[in-house]
Amino acid sequence: MSDKTREAAKAREGASMGDEQISPALTGLIMEGQEPDPMTEPGHNQMPRPRFEPINREQMVMRVVDVEQLVDQDHPVRAIWEFVGRLDLSSFCEQIRAVEGERGRPTHHPRLMICLWVYAYSRGVSSAREIARLCEYEPGCQWLTGMKVVNHHSLSDFRVDHGKALEKLFAEILGVLTLEGLIDLERVMHDGTKIKACASKGTFRGEKRVEEHLEIARRHVEEMKAQSDEDMKGRVAKAGHRAKREKQQRLESAVEEFKKIRASQSEAGTKKEEIRVSEIEPEARIMKHNDGGFAPSYNAQISTDRLSGVIVGVGLSQAPTDYDELLGSVDRVEHNTGKLPVQVVADGGYTSGNNIHGMGERGVDFFAPVADSLTQLKQMGIDEAFSRQAFVYDEGTNSYTCPAGKTLSYKGKERRKKRWRYRYRASAADCQACPFKPQCCPKSTRVGRSVMRSEHESEVESHAAKMQTEEAKQIYKQRGQTAEFPLAWIKEKLGLRRFRVRGLIKAGLETIWACVTYNIQQWIRLRWRVQWRRPRLELNTDLN
Ligand code: SF4
């Protein structure tokens, strides 16, 4: 190709692409040191040159959007809208100040706000700012809002401002799911999981430091109050003053939290360690997670109905262990659904005399393995064959008989973790002379072997016997699949590994939002999707 021809080609391309910078590869212009393009080389003139779509970024475009067609008929956002539309949302309207006949901007309908949050959680989004961004371009959110953007402040406030209404909504969803035949409360599986709090470990301080910081915060607030009205004007100044007041409030609640922790420790009779509380989120507690790590967290308790895997009870607590969370959780299920479950299945972390007794009082058939204290036995060097179960209790004499036939007499009671325990001990002389001593009490030198009996021991013993039956073993086998699935789903799919809001109440509301989302997704999966499933083609195997 001659120079003239190349220039003409370049001019042609330039004209078709507007004034944009055109890539030499597109124009066919050969740059110095570049491999020649075989398409433009002499000998290839007979091949027609390819034509490309022009790109013009310097134009304004106006489109017509059919909002109704933004999402397909089987899009989950339509299911969420339909389901929430069936619920009574009047309790969400109680706080609305924008009313007909009055001035002011109208507010967003609670149905829209609930759908936005549920849809966002179902996509693993739990940030109000992110939802506001999604409203600008994501078809599901655009369909919900009718192409309007919802302010992130409104979204954020809506999530935490309707505590009672949200609890009512959760119960109402359970009512709808019961009518749809997805809940029967015949067998409820219960489990707990630790979810990280907003605050980090670095915000935890001892009591002395918190009190020092509180003094400083109080001084700052006093100085602020002494400022003139002129200094208090302006958005930035107001925000600064609000931040100082909030800091003082947080530190005051941190000081209160020290008192609460000390009171609960003395009531439970637990060891008094150095207490540390977060200055940012005083209600968070350092808890152990399944990976062995420790982090500021809350303990979420979730009860799931076995029939369709619907969550029927949810609660959040500051308790580092699950022992004391079961009875409250069962009562919550009754509060939400109007009746108690027939059976409750939980893991060994919930087996305690108190829980067995409490379940018996409520008439609930309780299944949980009697926690083996193998680790404890190992620490004491006791052989498994000489665990407490090997000692026989005699109610008449209020004493135990050991495997060697010796008597362990009653030695007194002690209070531990809000429960009474009774101690029985063998005589030192018996144990020192016993051939089983190396397996039974290898570390005892001056006293004999002792065993503890809880205040509900007879109920624990019959519970342990029940758990040995084949039926109980089969029922317990179903626990993991039903109880752990929603916990994993909430953490992995809905992304609730760390709360986005601070404090026990707000974090509790976020847990309910996640459970509401999970339950609606269960309904979509089990009921709504069915109408969109294509019937399977029946293969005609009859070839004759
Ligand atoms: S060591 Fe003491 S309690 Fe244990 S079997 Fe022997 S006599 Fe009984």
Measured in Å, residue 75 CA sits from the centre of ligand 1 at: 69
**Which of 35-44, 123-132, 310-319, 366-375 has the weakest average pLDDT?**
35-44
Helix (H, G, I), strand (E, B) or coil at 356: helix
Mutational pocket test of ligand 1: of 409, 431, 432, 447, the residue with most ligand atoms within 8 Å of the beta carbon:
431
Mean pLDDT on 176-205: 95
Question: What local confidence, expressed as pLDDT, does residue 543 receive?
Answer: 43
Question: What local confidence, expressed as pLDDT, does residue 21 receive?
Answer: 46
Domain boundary (34, 62, 90) is at: 62
Measured in Å, residue 434 CA sits from the centre of ligand 1 at: 6
**Which of 142-146, 229-233, 278-282, 469-473 has the weakest average pLDDT?**
229-233
- pLDDT, tens digit, 9 for 90 and up, residues 88-113: 999 998 877 777 777 778 889 999 99
Place of tokens 């029985």: 424
218 and 191 both lie in a single domain: no
Residue 319 domain flag:
yes
365 and 471 both lie in a single domain: yes
Question: What local confidence, expressed as pLDDT, does residue 464 receive?
Answer: 87
Mean pLDDT, the chain, whole residue set: 86
Mutational pocket test of ligand 1: of 440, 444, 445, 450, the residue with most ligand atoms within 8 Å of the beta carbon:
440
In contact, 318 and 197? CB cutoff 8 Å = no
**Which of 99-108, 150-159, 203-212, 243-252 has the weakest average pLDDT?**
99-108
Question: What local confidence, expressed as pLDDT, does residue 23 receive?
Answer: 47
Residue 539 domain flag:
no
pLDDT band (50, 70, 90) for residue 389:
confident
Measured in Å, residue 534 CA sits from the centre of ligand 1 at: 70
Question: What local confidence, expressed as pLDDT, does residue 28 receive?
Answer: 44
- pLDDT, tens digit, 9 for 90 and up, residues 117-173: 999 999 999 999 999 999 999 999 999 999 998 999 999 999 999 999 999 999 999
pLDDT band (50, 70, 90) for residue 544:
very low
412 and 442 both lie in a single domain: yes
Domain boundary (407, 441, 465) is at: 465
Question: What local confidence, expressed as pLDDT, does residue 128 receive?
Answer: 95
pLDDT band (50, 70, 90) for residue 334:
very high
Distance of CA 467 to the CA centre of its chain: 30
Question: What local confidence, expressed as pLDDT, does residue 40 receive?
Answer: 54
326 and 455 both lie in a single domain: no
In contact, 486 and 518? CB cutoff 8 Å = yes
| Domain coverage including residue 42 | 1-62
Pocket around ligand 1 at a 6 A CB cut-off: 402-404, 406, 426, 430-431, 434, 436-437, 440-441, 448-449
In contact, 172 and 247? CB cutoff 8 Å = no
Question: What local confidence, expressed as pLDDT, does residue 524 receive?
Answer: 96
Mean pLDDT on 240-254: 89
362 and 474 both lie in a single domain: yes
Measured in Å, residue 396 CA sits from the centre of ligand 1 at: 21
CA distance 336 to 91: 16
Question: What local confidence, expressed as pLDDT, does residue 26 receive?
Answer: 45
331 and 408 both lie in a single domain: no
Question: What local confidence, expressed as pLDDT, does residue 333 receive?
Answer: 97
**Which of 13-17, 149-153, 260-264, 292-296 has the weakest average pLDDT?**
13-17
Strand partners, 192: 301
Mean pLDDT on 350-377: 85
* Whole-Å CA distances, 444 to 427, 431, 440: 11, 9, 9
Q: State how many domains the chain has.
A: 5
